Amino acid sequence: MMTIFDYIKQFTIQSPKHIALMDEVFNITYGELGEIIIKGKKYYLEQGFKPGMRVCIQMENSVEWVIAFLCMLSIGCWVITIPPEIDQIYLQEIMRLTGAKHIITNCSLSNIKKSQLKLYDVEMPSGNGSGIFQLSSGSTDIPKICRRSLDNLTSEGISYRNTFDINPEDRILSLPPVYHSYSLGAGCMASLVSGASLYLPRRFVYRNALRVTCEKDITIMLLVPIMARSLANMYLTEQTRPRSLRVALVGAGPIAKDVNSRFVDKFGINLSSNYGSTETGGVISRLTPEPIDSIGRPMYGVELKVKDEHLKSCGFNHEGELWVRLNGMFSGYLDAESELDEDGFYATGDIVVQDPEGYIFIKGRKKNIINIGGKKVNPAKVEAVLSQYAGVKECAVVSYKKIDQEEGVRAILVGDGLNERDLRTYCKPLLNKYEIPSVFEFWKSLPRNELGKIVRDLLNKKVD
């Protein structure tokens, strides 16, 4: 199959003056990008980088990040993406686990451009000869490390291209950093296999996001829930309302109905949803306005199964675990089993329901299910009930160990004027007795990562 470099070469020849990458500093055309990759490969080879090396990239969201990433892949290196905020102790541990010996913290385009090589002078690696090691999300301990090849990454880009009909006329604004798996697939890979233009802001400022959307005629905006809420809450006049936007895609979390409603009022389009994981890349997307509480249908090239606790396929409207298979999926964990079934399907760990129209609805996480004397409590159900209580701004439900070592239900809430007695009274007609939290705690805020996801492991530690 064609790799990302084959697509870049194609657009370098077909449309060399078309913009490929943009940020606050750089505007790089496809013609320039093709040349920079080859010159960058020569430059980094001269610096001692070799095929098979494992290299960390720790840079902010920018054109330079993409250039460094593509140059490493072109050599045949395996890249570990490191968020800039990661501290040195954690960084050293990741480097030890992955075997990485080098870290790139900046990319000098002026040095790269000194070479005189042309695109066709240098051979690119095979689709399995380089790729990326990504840290699986959702843990404050050392996570599993997923291995995704160049072919896997290219396939994910093709899946986004075909699902959203991305073409060279599109301009994609990736507000979440491209070093996260969602933006890497939906932004970087999708753009480069489509010949589209990608804008990478170095940090998220909602006013700047609006300005860029208008000035650059952005057609596709990538968001996470906290960013969508910020944009939905901002003041817009008829003159400042973007006209070019056709897709606003929210990944890494659910879309609240009130946020979608305000976003429609401000921007004139509904928020679309995207579901995926570090292991799989993008899997499911909802392009239609309804059903708003669904994550959507399978993306291009994705196969899925919903299995019950006995690993038998569920029918429509029955809860089960989501299993998926696709070309963009990871090729395994580093030093760990990949846990695929006999047909090559991966268990996502999410409990879902599929309706007869093919829409998927997330009901919770398998690993978060709480066992109360043999009865199963789904934290997502309890959270949905508590979030409707007046004064609750956000909440999370987790398990805890009682004195007798049995599990209990613990609710952590953020809000105004809350008290345990009233909450218990509210819950009684809405939840089974065993689902009502045994413990209610009131915090000032819930711990979240930079994408706005609740860091559940920190809920078991007092951070308030």
Tell me the per-residue pLDDT of 57-111, one tens digit each, with 9 for 90 and over. 999 999 999 999 999 999 999 999 988 888 788 888 888 888 898 999 888 776 6
Q: Identify whether 168 is preceded by a cis peptide bond (ω within 30 of 0).
A: no
Mean pLDDT of 169-173: 98
Give the residue with greater pLDDT, 257 vs 239.
257
Least confident of 142-151, 174-183, 250-259, 406-415: 142-151
* pLDDT per position as a tens digit, 234-255: 887 766 788 899 999 999 888 8
Return the pLDDT at 457. Answer: 74
pLDDT at position 113 is: 60
- The pLDDT of residue 140 is 36
Average pLDDT (38-60) is 92
H, E, C per residue of 189-249: HHHHHHCCEEECCCCCCHHHHHHHHHHCCCCEEEECHHHHHHHHHCCCCCCCCCCCCCEEE
Residue of 60 and 336 predicted with greater confidence: 60
- Tell me the percentage of the chain whose pLDDT exceeds 70: 92
pLDDT score recorded for residue 111: 65
Q: Yes or no: say if 39 and 112 are a contact pair by the CB < 8 Å rule.
A: yes
Domains of the chain: 4-304 (3.40.50.12780), 369-458 (3.30.300.30)
The yes-or-no verdict on residue 9 having pLDDT over 50 is yes
What is the chain's mean pLDDT, rounded?
88
What number of other Cβ atoms are within 10 A of residue 136's Cβ? 15
pLDDT at 304 over 60: yes
pLDDT in the model for residue 458:
81
pLDDT at 125: 62
Distance of CA 40 to the CA centre of its chain: 28
> pLDDT tier at 463 (50, 70, 90 boundaries)?
very low
Average pLDDT score over residue span 195-206: 94
Q: Which residues does 92 contact at the CB level (< 8 Å), separation at least 6?
A: none
